Amino acid sequence: MGMVARMREDVESVLRRDPAAQSGLQVMLTTPGLHAVWVHRLNHALWQRGWRLTARVLSQWARFWTGVEIHPGARIGRRLLIDHGMGVVIGETAIVGDDVTLYQGVTLGGTGSASETAKRHPTLCNGVFVGNNANILGNICVGENSRVGAGSVVLRDVPPNSTVVGVPAHIVYRNGQRVLITDPHEIKDPLSDALIALAARVERLEAATGCAEAAEASHGAEGFAAEDEEREAYRQEREAVEQERAQEWVSMGEGI
């Protein structure tokens, strides 16, 4: 596909997926995410041909004007939509598939490990949606048509057709079905150990108080019946008092 045809495809993609886009001319003139992608294509070609300093300088220029930082070494697919764009960072070894959507503040970065010398940034497969300020870190893969919730921190592979949220991110939907988490280990949250210890303590307390609960259950019906009788007696007493007061007021009226 030629350069002009690719640019036309990009504009049509933005018109189709961005409700705020009103015309092709508006998209071409006022969409910084689209400008960043176009400049990146030039920078990536220069990077592959060995003009790496020039590519880096141009990428910094694009970062200044668009607010989007895409390393020239990153591999970007077709019809990438960077909505708003400000603060988006895409690392050197990141791979982004076709029809991917990134909102503002998204980071496709590394974990900072010294052992990562080759592929150290994530791979986003086709149709992935990433909410604003989400961080996808390390050499991991986000499967096709998956969604990453806003503000999430993804540190593990995400299966296709899944939705992940949280810090760190965990799966809440997969193939359209709600995923229920029954084991705190599945979340790998810093508080998981505390939750596990609390759950174990609750189980021990329930086991220790099992006899008392059984006794209460056996006498529960009798206790409820006695309470009902007391409430009924109280209501009858109140009704009698109110009737006496009503008669007193009536007799005072007659005397006047």
pLDDT tens digit sequence for 158-180: 999 999 998 888 888 888 888 77
Q: What's the pLDDT at 243?
A: 77
pTM: 0.70
Residue 242 pLDDT level (bands cut at 50, 70, 90): confident
Q: No. of H helices and E strands in the chain? A: 6, 16
- On average, the pLDDT of the chain sits at 84
β-pair type (170-174, 177-178): antiparallel
- pLDDT-derived band at 256 (thresholds 50, 70, 90) equals very low
Q: Compare 211 and 56 and report the one with higher pLDDT.
A: 56
Q: Residue 207 and residue 147: Cα distance in Å, rounded?
A: 42
Q: Which residues pair with 95 in a beta bridge?
A: 75, 123
Which amino acid, residue 1? M
Q: Is 60 left (phi over 0), alpha (psi -120 to 50) or beta?
A: alpha
Cα distance between residue 197 and residue 110, in whole Å:
33
When mean pLDDT is compared over 131-135, 171-175, 183-187, the highest value belongs to 131-135
Instruction: Kindly indicate the confidence band of residue 197, based on its pLDDT and cuts at 50, 70 and 90.
Output: confident
Which residue, among 137, 130, 71, 128, has the nearest Cα to 106 in the 3D structure? Answer: 130
E-strand spans in the chain?
69-70, 75-76, 81-82, 89-90, 95-96, 101-102, 107-109, 123-124, 129-130, 135-137, 141-142, 147-148, 153-154, 162-165, 170-174, 177-178
Average pLDDT over residues 211-239: 66
Other C-beta atoms closer than 10 Å to the C-beta of 246 total 10
Task: Indicate the pLDDT class of residue 255, thresholds 50, 70 and 90.
Answer: very low
Q: How many CA atoms lie within 13 A of 110 on its CB side?
A: 14
**Rounded distance between C-alpha atoms, residue 140 and residue 143, angstroms:** 10
CB 10 within 8 A of CB 22: no
Question: Is residue 130 predicted with pLDDT exceeding 70?
Answer: yes
CATH of 3-175, one of 3.40.50.720, 3.40.50.300, 2.160.10.10, 3.40.190.10: 2.160.10.10
Contact 40, 60 (CB under 8 A): no
Please give the pLDDT value at position 251. Answer: 52
CA distance 65 to 250: 89
Phi/psi zone of residue 133: left (φ > 0), alpha (ψ -120 to 50 degrees), beta?
left
Residue 78 or 225, more confident: 78
Say what the pLDDT of residue 207 is: 81
Question: What's the rounded Cα separation, in Å, for the pair 4 and 163?
Answer: 35
Domain edges within the chain:
3-175, 209-255
